[in-house]
Structure 1
Amino acid sequence: MNPDEKFTLITRNLQEYLGGDEMKKILQERDLKVYWGTATTGKPHIGYFVAMTKLADMLQAGCHVTILFADLHAYLDNMKAPWELLRLRTKYYEAVIKAMLTSIGVPIEKLRFVIGSSYQLSEKYTLDVYKMLAMVTEHDAKKAGAEVVKQVESPFMSGLVYPLLQALDEEYLDVDMQFGGVDQRKIFTFAEKYLPHLGYKKRAHLMNVMLGGLSGSKMSSSDPDSKIDLLDDSKTVRKKLAKAFCEEGNVDDNPILSFLKVVIFPIMSLQNQSTFVIQRAEKFGGNIQFEGFESVFNAFKDKKLHPADLKSGATDALNALLEPIRKIFESEELVKLTNEAYPPPPKAAPKAKVAKQDSAASSPKAAKATTPTAAAVVEDADASIVSKLDIVVGKILEVSAHPDADSLYVEKIDVGEAEPRTVVSGLRKYMTMEEMKGKHVLVLKNLKPATMRGVKSMAMLLCASNAENTVVEFLIPPANSAPGDRVFFKGHEGTPEPLLNPKKKVWETVQPDFKTREGDCVALWKGIEFQTEKGIVKASTLAGASIR
């Protein structure tokens, strides 16, 4: 390839790039050096294939590619990877990313793999960090990490240092450009501003599109509903894709189409394939074939391709892509590594047995010995029952008085779905409609819909209230929250039920332990904070209050 052809291949399918002229200038003299980094936190998901396919383009264009396993970054980002697990998770990431690249035919011998702590603890690097600390403002550091580092109202210093380290990595890895998702843009422009202050050159930056989550939001390791893990079995993949948002004819907000565009078809191109086949039984019209992504896109847009068929084809393509990775991770060594790097949550204690009452156990003393204690009952409960609740950030779009109840409001709330949900709440004596409109709130989505005085309520607003129930206020999501951001509880990140079974009384079991913390009003369940990817949830003034 000539330099222009290499530049075209390097920059194709990117959402944006900065420093194109400098890249072209270097290409006239030699091949480019690039690095892509990933913090070793939660298990990599299928969204990582977006970067892998782009790295394949760069290798084909002759680039010298470095993959950085940013272990220290993983700890600095609100301790998403515990210090004692950093080494193990770094090994896991290296194994899984090598398996991904192998599965799409990328020769890994052409790559350089580097662990961040191998140079980030050196004297020279540390001195450069201190130099940057002396010149970077708190505002600039917080702004740079706004889309990447977990945002909280009172941030830890570690999160402010994170962008500084990522900027310095460009110099210490000796590259011409850094590649990442478009969510990294603020860190990239931060590096372009501050590296020259240390006497280092400004690098180019390449930004990939971000793969949307299955529920419509960003695909995230901390949101099990938004992602498919690389080691999910075929049945799990089919089940998750079957539940994915895929509205007929909707091509603007469609995670299935996005995945085909940025992962499946680029990989097919790497393998010199262009025909996408959707398997169908003869009674449903037989198989469908498409040449290139545009043909799939147009057929779906014109409603000639049904969502169920699109999901089926995507499921088969994804399972074919993941199968080689699953095979690699069947080895005893990698099974052990996976379990050590991501230890499963502790099992609930076995159910306490109650002895059958007889004449010998009829005395109060005997009854005391054989009746399960309160602690035993708690231990017997599902340790992750709270994960069954589907709590998300919502935005109140409209508020009106209930037509047949003086104490009720009817709200239209955006919860990140195609249409807002209708919610009936008993807030009329606590706040005005004007106080509610436009507010970001917390919404429990998966309670069984209830008809309240003739109006069906499709969710529940969660609020804090004092003991006398004379003051009620909304729970406040973190800054920069968006409708659909999911609430999770660290250590209990399970998959919410699509719809709670009223007979199992999940809400009734969990709700008594929903409180706000004394002092700072942070929302808690059994002492564990309500969190989204962007920070901590709290009430504005009510401390030690009930949440319901």
Structure 2
Amino acid sequence: MAEPQTPEEKFNLITRNLHEYLGGEEIKKILAQRDLNVYWGTAPTGKPHIGYFVPMTKIADLLKAGCNVTILFADLHAYLDNMKAPWELLQERTKYYEAIIKAMLTSIGVNIEKLTFVQGTTYQLSREYTLDAYRLLAMTTEHDAKKAGAEVVKQVESPLLSGLVYPLLQALDEEYLHVDAQFGGVDQRKIFTFAEKYLPQLGYKKRAHLMNPMVGGLSGAKMSASDPNSKVDLLDDAKTVTMKLKKAFCEEGNIEDNPLLAFLKAVIFPVNSLTNPNYEFIVKRPEKYGGNIVYKSYPEVEEAFEEKKLHPGDLKAGAADALNVLLEPIRKTFKSKELQKLTLAAYPPPKPKVVDNISKIDFRIGKILEVKQHPDADTLYVSKIDLNEPAGPRTVVSGLAKHIPVFDLENRHVVVAANLKPSTIRGVESAGMVVAASSADKTAVELLDPPSGSEAGDLVTFEGFDRQPEEVNRKLFEKVAGDCRTGEDLVVGYKGVPWKTEKGNITVKSLKDAIVG
């Protein structure tokens, strides 16, 4: 592709293959005077996968169009996003992301002279940014905050505040990175329109927004760093790439829901056209099956697949070959000792997990739907507890009647030992135990508090301990309880390891050094 010269040529390259863009006329005005300043942000959490080639392909277009491009490593956002990356690893992961993105862009022949990398916390902790964040909080409704993050922040009944703040900070980044436009996936459209509404209220100009189409994962859902079956890692070897693509969802004749076709359209053809306008997609086949098939454009591939002239197996093989050509320069770059050391520091292998008595107990979050006094015991409650099971709520008998009133139990989330051997207590069968903390003299009792945003069925885990639940008796449970206490920070622990779910630690309201059981 020839270098774009006129503002119109630059605009066409900037907007080609986008799903949508907002502020096109403003972009044209700026291009008539100077080059466009654009930013794209990513949170350094899991390892970047081949889905990152989708934004990289557009960043290649932006750079070729003369744009000044800033890539933001949103480390603060990564932490706010359900603490997906611990603080101690964020610095190393930011370095890894920069190295892998440079390798991706240089592998497809992109000149990165006009590319700048910025780490979010270098300015997001400043006095000015912090005050603007508070100003934005003061004028944003809960409704607008939830709406802004609806497509990118997990929606739960009781969301964490961090998930509501996340989109606000992303909008504010546009001002502090001094850009004319923000680029991202179409899933961020509501954050972009939020920014267009609220930045002018802070006294800042409205920016343009460029939105890429989303490419699904290999299993058909969104490509995710946390789902190994949905993605190909950028450093996967050639055999692994071929194996993963063989397992990819690819229904014969289906062009609407086909991650391989989407990847060819969004990445393979655009990337190769940057350096080779005559690029051909080749599907290699033995002569006995008709020999190789050559496609000169993406529409030819799509038409052949829709008409069932291109078999899913052949499409997978051709896509694997094309992808391995794309990945090989990156794999070679990361064979250096320095980058291998960086990879290990950013993503250390998990420590082997220990199997212990705690591994055998199935602790889960339950929601109490109903509480009644036991008909034959003043000290006992009979509760209906939802654990998000197909069989419906369980009946659980607990000895909490002397300590906690009914109104403090109804509709609240609790921790339940869900795999205790069922027992009959005063004529009522109990299928589990509500776990509580108590003072040494048993005079004070408090329920364990699940983290904000908890839902029925959430699993309680213990870092370093494998989870291998089996039906257990109360004797084993009592043995485990002997090693469970609350700390000075009110976090519940087992041998010093916090009880936690994916949403955070299990705590108590006020009892320190309390017995848990």
When the two structures are superposed, what TM-score results if normalisation uses the length of structure 2? 0.70
Aligned length: 397
2:40 to 8, 33, 36: 36
Q: Is residue 77–residue 150 contact of structure 1 (8 Å, CA) maintained in 2?
A: no
Larger radius of gyration: 2
The answer to whether structure 1 residue 82 and structure 2 residue 72 are counterparts is: no
2:202 to 175, 198, 201: 198
**1:328 maps to amino acid:** T
CA distance in 2, matches of 1:221, 1:149: 15
**1:29 maps to amino acid:** Q
Structure 1, residues 320-344: CA drift from partner, whole Å, max 9, x if none? 1111111111111111111111111
CA distance in 2, matches of 1:167, 1:88: 25
Deviation at 1:177, TM superposition (A): 0.4
2:170 to 162, 166, 182: 166
Which residue in the other structure is 2:190 paired with?
186
**1:100 maps to amino acid:** M
2:248 to 237, 244, 248: 244
Q: Secondary structure at the match of 1:108?
A: coil
Which residue in the other structure is 1:144 paired with?
148
Which residue in the other structure is 1:21 paired with?
25
Structure 1, residues 317-367: CA drift from partner, whole Å, max 9, x if none? 111111111111111111111111111111256xxxxxxxxxxxxxxxxxx
Which residue in the other structure is 2:67 paired with?
63
Alignment of 1:54-453 (within 5 A): 54-272=58-276, 273-348=278-353, 375=356
Structure 2 vs 1, CA of residues 378 and 132 (structure 1 numbering), >3 Å: closer, same or farther? closer
CA distance in 1, matches of 2:420, 2:150: 32
Which residue in the other structure is 1:11 paired with?
15
Structure 2 vs 1, CA of residues 530 and 254 (structure 1 numbering), >3 Å: closer, same or farther? same
Structure 1, residues 31-89: CA drift from partner, whole Å, max 9, x if none? 21111111111111111101111111111212111111111111111111111111111
Unaligned runs of 5+ in 2: 363-389, 396-417, 424-428, 433-451, 473-497, 506-517
Unaligned runs of 5+ in 1: 350-373, 387-424, 431-462, 473-477, 482-486, 493-505, 514-525, 537-548
Q: CA RMSD in A?
A: 3.4
Q: Is residue 345–residue 491 contact of structure 1 (8 Å, CA) maintained in 2?
A: no
Structure 2 vs 1, CA of residues 80 and 348 (structure 1 numbering), >3 Å: closer, same or farther? closer
Which residue in the other structure is 2:57 paired with?
53
Deviation at 1:150, TM superposition (A): 3.2
CA distance in 1, matches of 2:254, 2:346: 39
Q: Secondary structure at the match of 1:107?
A: coil
CA distance in 1, matches of 2:420, 2:200: 53
Q: Secondary structure at the match of 2:182?
A: strand
Q: Secondary structure at the match of 2:17?
A: coil
Structure 2 vs 1, CA of residues 464 and 490 (structure 1 numbering), >3 Å: closer, same or farther? closer
**1:284 maps to amino acid:** Y
CA distance in 1, matches of 2:264, 2:17: 13
CA distance in 2, matches of 1:37, 1:107: 19
Which residue in the other structure is 1:441 paired with?
none
Deviation at 1:527, TM superposition (A): 6.1
Q: Secondary structure at the match of 1:134?
A: helix
CA distance in 1, matches of 2:51, 2:64: 21
Percent sequence identity is: 67
Structure 1, residues 364-389: CA drift from partner, whole Å, max 9, x if none? xxxxxxxxxx83x998x9xxxx9xxx
**1:340 maps to amino acid:** A
Structure 2 vs 1, CA of residues 245 and 123 (structure 1 numbering), >3 Å: closer, same or farther? same
Structure 2 vs 1, CA of residues 527 and 512 (structure 1 numbering), >3 Å: closer, same or farther? farther
Q: Secondary structure at the match of 1:151?
A: coil
Q: Which moved more, 1:275-284 or 1:256-265?
A: 275-284
CA distance in 2, matches of 1:21, 1:491: 54
**2:342 maps to amino acid:** L
CA distance in 1, matches of 2:420, 2:341: 47
Q: Secondary structure at the match of 2:123?
A: helix
**1:279 maps to amino acid:** K
CA distance in 2, matches of 1:202, 1:490: 45
CA distance in 1, matches of 2:217, 2:202: 39
Q: Secondary structure at the match of 1:180?
A: strand
Q: Is residue 77–residue 162 contact of structure 1 (8 Å, CA) maintained in 2?
A: yes
Structure 2 vs 1, CA of residues 84 and 38 (structure 1 numbering), >3 Å: closer, same or farther? same
Q: Secondary structure at the match of 2:260?
A: helix
Structure 1, residues 404-434: CA drift from partner, whole Å, max 9, x if none? xxxxxxxxxxxxxxxxxxxxx888xx9xxxx
When the two structures are superposed, what TM-score results if normalisation uses the length of structure 1? 0.67
Structure 2 vs 1, CA of residues 157 and 465 (structure 1 numbering), >3 Å: closer, same or farther? same
Q: Secondary structure at the match of 1:67?
A: strand
Q: Is residue 16–residue 207 contact of structure 1 (8 Å, CA) maintained in 2?
A: yes
Structure 2 vs 1, CA of residues 197 and 21 (structure 1 numbering), >3 Å: closer, same or farther? same
Q: Is residue 167–residue 195 contact of structure 1 (8 Å, CA) maintained in 2?
A: yes
Q: Secondary structure at the match of 2:50?
A: coil
Structure 1, residues 495-536: CA drift from partner, whole Å, max 9, x if none? xxxxxxxxxxx99x65659xxxxxxxxxxxx966478xxx99
CA distance in 1, matches of 2:213, 2:461: 28
Structure 2 vs 1, CA of residues 324 and 35 (structure 1 numbering), >3 Å: closer, same or farther? same
Structure 2 vs 1, CA of residues 334 and 512 (structure 1 numbering), >3 Å: closer, same or farther? farther
**2:319 maps to amino acid:** A
